[in-house]
Amino acid sequence: MENLALIESFSEFKDEKFIDRVTLMSILEEVFRNTLKRKYGDDDNFDIIINPDKGDLEIWRNRIVVEDGSVEDENQEICLSEAQKIEPDFEVGEDVSEEVKLIDLGRRTVLALRQNLVSRIHEHDNGIIYKQFIDLIGEIYTAEVHHIRHNVVILLDDDGNELIMPKDRQIPSDFYRKGDNVRGIIESVELKGNKPSIVMSRTSPKFLEKLFEQDIPEVFDGLISVKKVVRIPGEKAKVAVDSYDDRIDPVGACVGMKGSRIHGIVRELGNENIDVINFTNNSQLLITRALSPAKISSLKINEENKTVEVFMDPEQVSKAIGRGGFNIRLAGQLTGYEIDVYREGAEEDVELTEFSDEIEEWVLDELKKAGLDTAKSVLEQDVEDLIKRTDLEEETILEIRKVLSAEFSE
């Protein structure tokens, strides 16, 4: 019963969610054999009998009987007098099987053995979890907020698996409380040590693509394909879609009547502004659509440098560039071209850089960030609009307008 008492707590492992009886027995035997090798130098002559359902274990050492004083390997041989203490009838040359009690291995050895067993079981479980989540990369997953730190949110799924969502994988407007359910995609899975590190993302373009697939039946059924998604998380996104059936309007199907279909996706992404456009292999037409809502007068593409010069009426420029330059930046990412916008009639205008002696450099940079790079492009804007689009004070804007107006009144 000594072995049974020592091994009793090992039986708990038969209930591990990821381990079956055969695997458990294999791990148990491997751990015990490694212990025997360290203790005796070899384990070939040991028989290990395990019953994990009962938590029972037997270890038998097999040795050959030799004459007294002739023992060369104590692990493989036993002298006649010692053998006859076990069974008086033993003779030289016979095999002796003797049970090894765990308690005889020593307390430290048994404790180390249990630690190794726990480690191997967890290693096995972590390997199963790793393989499970590797297959889920790129898929939408839901988990519950468990702990909130400054630069990461720790989540737990229904099986108690831990996921992390770093700050840069969170939409800037996201706000979490412990117990909240959060949706994202499994972005990456890697083993750190023996523990899987599972990263969830809500900022990946793939998350938006999967939301389209989940929420729009035609995308799910394959009638509409999502060709490309580009995002500035929480601010703006552009999605190019196509249909294999000419009878289906891919943009209309994705947006829905009065935006009914896309509204849930927009809300999920913190009111991210989503432009859905018809994909085309015609680069000129794709660029035109990507710069929507601005209207283009003409454009000139350089395929060698993947650049395009776009010409439009002055009042369309700010629409093409968009707040914070988001629209033109995303249009470039969607089409694969570097887009330069030019105002028609620009020869009558003056570049803002010409005013560097009268207007401070940081002020000019602030105007450029808002897509304003000429004098007239600034003067065409209302003061209130300029305040909204920049970080400039009203007093500064009025002074700028005064300087720029003087250029055209001379």
Reported as a single tens digit per residue, the pLDDT across 314-333 is 778 888 888 888 999 999 99
Express as a percent the part of the chain with pLDDT over 90: 40
79: phi > 0 → left, psi -120 to 50 → alpha, else beta; which? Answer: beta
Q: Which of 167-176, 206-215, 254-263, 374-383 has the lowest mean pLDDT?
A: 374-383
- List the CATH code of the domain at 216-279: 3.30.300.20
Mean residue pLDDT across the chain: 85
Q: How confident is the model at residue 13 (pLDDT cuts 50, 70, 90)?
A: low
- Number of Cβ atoms within 10 Å of the Cβ of 376: 19
Q: Model's pTM, two decimal places? A: 0.65
Mean local confidence (pLDDT), 257-279:
93
Going by C-alpha positions, the residue among 214, 218, 216, 238 that lies closest to residue 227 is 238
**269-278, 384-393, 396-405: range with highest mean pLDDT:** 269-278
DSSP 256: -
Would you say 372 and 378 are in contact if contact means Cβ atoms under 8 Å apart? Answer: yes
- Asked if 171 and 272 count as a contact pair (C-beta separation under 8 A), the reply is yes
Report the CATH architecture of 136-201: Beta Barrel (2.40)
**pLDDT band with cut points at 50, 70 and 90 for residue 410:** low
Establish whether the linkage from the previous residue to 172 is cis, with ω within 30° of 0. no
Contact 390, 369 (CB under 8 A): yes
Question: For the chain, how many helices (H) and strands (E)?
Answer: 15, 15
Q: Which of 22, 27, 32, 85 is nearest to 58 (CA)?
A: 32
Stretch among 42-56, 268-282, 284-298, 334-348 having the lowest mean pLDDT: 42-56
The strand pairing partners of 199, in sequence order, are: 164, 188
* 309 pLDDT above the threshold of 50: yes
| Tens of pLDDT, residues 200-227 | 999 999 999 999 999 999 999 999 999 9
- The class that CATH gives domain 2-123 is alpha beta
Q: What gap in Å lies between CA 303 and CA 276, rounded to an integer?
A: 25
